[in-house]
Amino acid sequence: MEILCDEPVSPTGAYFTSSVISVSVIAVLETEFPIDDSQAMGLLNDVFIPINPRFSSVMVKDKKGVKHWKRVEVRLEDHINIPIFEEGKSPEYYQECFTQYLSKIALEQFPQSRPLWEIHIFKYPTSNSGGNLIFKLHHSLGDGFSLMGALLSCLQRADDPSVPLTFPALNRIKEVKTTPGFFGNLSTICYGMVNTLTDFGWSLLKSTFVEDDRSPIRSGADGVEFRPITITTLSFLLNQIKLLKSYLNVVSSSTFFF
């Protein structure tokens, strides 16, 4: 049963679902204990889906070829996947199974006939956790920050569910704020304009004439997009992000951060 509700698809969302490219965001939530999937249906229906109307919408085209979001009734059983592996193996064995499973689902395309998200419940203990909850969401549903915010809003603190979820923060010395004068405001505006023009010009050059340098995350090989991929995971402290960014010579984004 379709629910009459229409919302235009953003240009970025339309591009991410074109014949040229299809991008998904994969987030993994590790649990200390094995996952009990008996309450999955209720939590998804009552907590996850109401967060964003796009979680219960499909992308359709009108007569002019313009894409819109159309609300539909969600069949939760079509979005929940529970992989089955051999029982009684070691955590190292299941860790390898988990890595291969992540790589497998990363290459699979979403069916366009239902909302563009899936949840995979990996119930086996790995080297790092007692279980893993995998969220695969199409990038047209939102950017990295908004999608991570949506997922984190589903969580509650174990010690006090009434308190909002928080993360540890570094203690910083409070800076004394001063009100800039006329020349201070003028220099800030000029600095912003120069940065904008520089970034625009550099982006234009890179999209036409200049090629990105090779790095640990860019091989530069021809046809690399058609080669098999493998997803690996690393754990690091939040305050190590700057070191990683400097070593890889990249700009930290929501995808890199999470």
Domain boundaries, the chain: 2-152
pLDDT tens, residue order, the chain (258 aa):
444 456 888 888 888 887 777 788 898 999 988 888 888 888 899 989 998 899 999 999 888 888 899 999 999 999 999 999 999 999 999 999 999 999 899 888 898 889 999 999 999 999 989 999 999 999 999 887 888 888 888 888 888 888 877 776 655 555 555 666 666 777 888 888 888 888 888 877 877 777 777 776 677 777 776 777 777 777 777 677 777 777 766 665 544 444
Q: Which CATH class is domain 2-152?
A: alpha beta
The answer to whether the CB of 31 falls within 8 A of the CB of 124 is: no
Residue 122, φ and ψ in degrees, nearest 5: -95, 105
Contact by Cβ (8 Å): 103, 232: no
Sequence-ordered list of residues with C-beta below 8 angstroms from that of 105, at least 6 positions apart, any chain: 26, 81, 118, 120, 134, 136
User: Which residue in the block uniquely carries the two structure tokens 């009734």?
Assistant: 73
CA neighbor of 135 nearest in space, from 108, 117, 155: 117
- The radius of gyration computed from the CA coordinates of the chain, to the nearest angstrom, equals 22
Residue 257 pLDDT? 44
Predicted local distance difference test score (pLDDT) of residue 120 = 96
Residue matched to tokens 């939040």: 238
- In the 8-state DSSP scheme, what is residue 41? H
Cα–Cα distance for residue pair 71/12, rounded to 1 Å:
20
Question: What do you get for the CA distance between the two ends of the chain, in Å?
Answer: 36
Tokens of 111: 């069916």
Partners of 81 in the β-ladder? 120
Closest by CA position to 116, among listed 68, 56, 60, 71 = 56
> CB under 8 Å to 152, separation ≥6 — which residues?
165
The strand order across the sheet containing 131-138 reads 24-31, 131-138, 117-122, 80-81
Chain-centre distance of CA 104, in angstroms?
17
**Alpha-helical runs (H) found in the chain:** 11-16, 40-43, 91-107, 144-152, 182-208, 241-248, 254-257
